[in-house]
Structure 1
Amino acid sequence: MDDLLQALVRKLVRKHHTSCPFTLASLLGVHIRYADLGKSTKGLYVRKLRRRFIVIHSRLPLEWQRFVCAHELGHDRLHKGISRLFLEDHSYFSPGKLERQAHRFAILLLTANVTLQPDESLREYYLRAGIPQEMLYFFDI
């Protein structure tokens, strides 16, 4: 699945000349909204009447808003027709298959135009690419 995700992200970035999840969402016709989603929900993806929406928790730091947008865009690209919630409450430790795929999509998208520097650790690379530190758990860094 990882090869398919990498190919999908590469094609998306090449076609639209950007790896910015906000710009990609706009170009793909996915509407972004912000709302206070409470303590445990960072974002959600919803399809309603042929319209697609990413809702991002308005109180998140910018780094997290960017990651959530990329994650929910992953659901749009990978899980057509399924509305998914990106929950914080312990999901970092046992996310389901669809959540892991969306996490991986987000990380591949956010690192698409960031080159690993010589003598740079993967941890430093991911942090420089704007991946929230809590997400590094998924990559044993």
Structure 2
Amino acid sequence: MAKAMGTILLFEDLGSINGYYNKFLRIKQIHINSNLDSHLKRFTCAHELGHSIYHPDANTPFLRDCTFMSTNRLEIEANTFAMYFLITNDDLVECQCDTTNQLARYFGYTKEMIELRLKGGPS
């Protein structure tokens, strides 16, 4: 989907960072750590895609490092987008899980991420 939206995907060694989104010369870019396993690469891409859609002009590293403005809301929105993008309603029905812990194990995400998916949709 990122490519279809004209967003450039870059896979590179980012050390301890999973990924980040930026916009340079009006070109959206998603940077993903090439050292991540495929499951985490997919989540990171979906999370950063959420930033590119909901926060296209936000510079979250600048906001976090140079201001006292909380970026928590932006991260929650990107995580919520990622969970809705990666886990469809059909997926939820198909897995036949009864608890959030079971869903977390089934899909390979934390219980907190599953809870984001289960309570209201992305803004």
Determine if the TM-score, normalized by the shorter chain, exceeds 0.5: yes
Q: Does 1:35 align with 2:12?
A: yes
Query: Residue in 1 aligned with 2:51?
Result: 75
Q: Distance in 2 between matches of 1:119 and 1:28?
A: 33
Higher-RCO chain (CA-CA 8 Å, sequence separation at least 6): 1
Q: Counterpart amino acid of 1:81? A: D
Contact 1:56 1:65 in 2 (8 A): yes
Q: Percent of aligned positions with the same letter in both sequences?
A: 30
Name structure 2 gaps, 5 residues minimum.
Answer: 62-69, 117-123
Structure index of larger Rg? 2
Contact 1:70 1:109 in 2 (8 A): yes
SS of 1:82's equivalent?
coil
Q: CA RMSD in A?
A: 2.3
Rate the CA distance shift 1:100–1:118 in 2: closer, same or farther, 3 A: same
TM-score by length of 1: 0.64
Query: Residue in 2 aligned with 1:118?
Result: 96
Q: Does 1:106 align with 2:115?
A: no
Q: Counterpart amino acid of 2:106? A: R
Cα deviation 1:35-92 (Å, max 9, x = unaligned): 11112x110001001111000011011111000000000001101211335xxxxxxx
